[in-house]
C-alpha cells in the first residue's frame, strides 16, 4: 500500500499537527504490512501558488520552456502523480486564520486538475480520484468543529476531497490547543485515543 503523508504546519517540532500526523502514519504502518510511505513537507518544500506564470508554463511546449518554467511544470506534475499513486493519505491540517495553511491550499490547487482528478459531464461533476482512504489531522487553537468558524477548515477539506471522488475520510481532531497547558494536553490525549481506536478497528 502506498501512503502519502502530508504536513503543512510552519511550526516545525512545535507543531501539534505534525506530531499527530506522524502518529497516524506510524499506527498505519504498524497495522498493515508493506506500507510504502512518501512524505511531503509543504512548509519546507513549498509549492508555488497558481498564477498567470504557472498557467503559461503549463501551456508552453516543453522544448520552449525556460528553466523556471520547466521546474514549475515538473514539480506540479510530480505532485499530481504522487497524489494519484497513493492508496491512502494523511493530511496534517492546522487552522490558520479560520482556514487551512496557504501551503496546503497550494497543494490542493496542484491536485485538483480537470481531466485528471475530476471532470464535468452532461450529468454534472464527477470525481476521478476515488478509492483512496484519507485521514485528516485537524488542529486548532480554539474550538471550531461544527461551527461557522470551521467551515473553511475541516469542512472545506472534506468538500474538496469529495469533489475529487474521495469519500472514505476520517478526521482526527485536537482543538483548544491555545487554551492552556491542561486543555492542550487533554486535546492531544483525545486525538491519540482517536488514532488508537481508528487502527484497532482496522
Which residues belong to the annotated binding site? 9, 15-17, 95-98, 139-142
- What does the CA dihedral 170, 27, 12, 81 come to, rounded to 10 degrees? -70
Binding-site members for FMN are: 9, 15-17, 95-98, 139-142
> Per residue in 88-117, is it b (16+ CB within 10 Å) or e — as a string?
bbbbbbbbbeebbbebbbbbbbbbbbeeeb
Burial of 130 (0-12, 13-18, 19+ CB in 10 A): middle
Q: Cα–Cα–Cα angle for 147, 25, 118, nearest 5°?
A: 60
Amino acid at each position: 500500500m502506498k501512503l502519502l503523508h502530508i504536513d503543512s504546519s510552519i511550526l516545525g517540532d512545535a507543531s501539534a499537527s505534525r506530531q499527530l500526523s506522524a502518529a497516524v502514519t506510524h499506527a498505519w504502518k504498524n497495522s498493515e504490512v508493506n506500507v510504502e510511505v512518501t512524505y511531503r513537507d509543504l512548509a519546507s518544500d513549498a509549492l508555488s501558488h497558481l498564477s498567470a506564470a504557472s498557467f503559461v508554463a503549463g501551456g508552453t511546449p516543453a522544448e520552449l520552456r525556460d528553466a523556471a518554467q520547466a521546474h514549475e511544470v515538473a514539480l506540479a506534475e510530480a505532485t499530481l502523480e504522487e497524489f494519484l499513486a497513493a492508496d491512502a493519505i494523511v493530511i496534517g491540517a492546522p487552522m490558520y486564520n479560520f482556514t487551512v495553511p496557504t501551503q496546503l491550499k497550494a497543494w490542493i490547487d496542484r491536485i485538483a486538475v480537470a481531466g485528471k482528478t475530476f471532470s464535468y459531464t452532461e450529468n454534472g461533476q464527477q470525481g476521478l480520484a476515488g478509492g483512496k482512504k484519507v485521514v485528516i489531522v485537524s488542529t486548532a487553537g480554539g474550538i471550531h468543529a461544527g461551527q461557522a468558524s470551521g467551515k473553511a477548515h475541516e469542512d472545506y477539506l472534506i468538500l474538496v476531497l469529495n469533489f475529487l471522488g474521495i469519500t472514505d475520510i476520517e478526521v482526527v481532531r485536537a482543538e483548544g490547543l491555545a487554551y492552556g497547558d491542561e486543555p492542550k494536553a487533554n486535546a492531544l490525549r483525545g486525538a491519540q485515543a482517536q488514532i488508537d481506536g481508528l487502527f484497532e478497528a482496522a
